[in-house]
Structure 1
Amino acid sequence: MPQLPPPRRFRLLRARGVQTGLLIGVWWACDRAARALHAPVPGAVLGLGLLLLLLGTGRLPIRALQHSTRWLIGEMLLFFIPPMVSLLDYPQFLGWLGVKLIVAIAAGTLAVMVATAATIEIGHRALRPRR
Structure 2
Amino acid sequence: MNAADSVSAEWLSYLGRHVVALSIEVAGERIAVVGGRTGSAEAVRVESARTDMTDLLDTLGRGRFLEVPAIQDGEPRRMRLERQATGIELAVLRLRGVDLVARWWIASADVPTLIAALRRAFTELDTREALAGMEAS
TM score, norm. by length of structure 2 = 0.31
Bigger share in helix: 1
Query: Rg: which structure is higher?
Result: 1
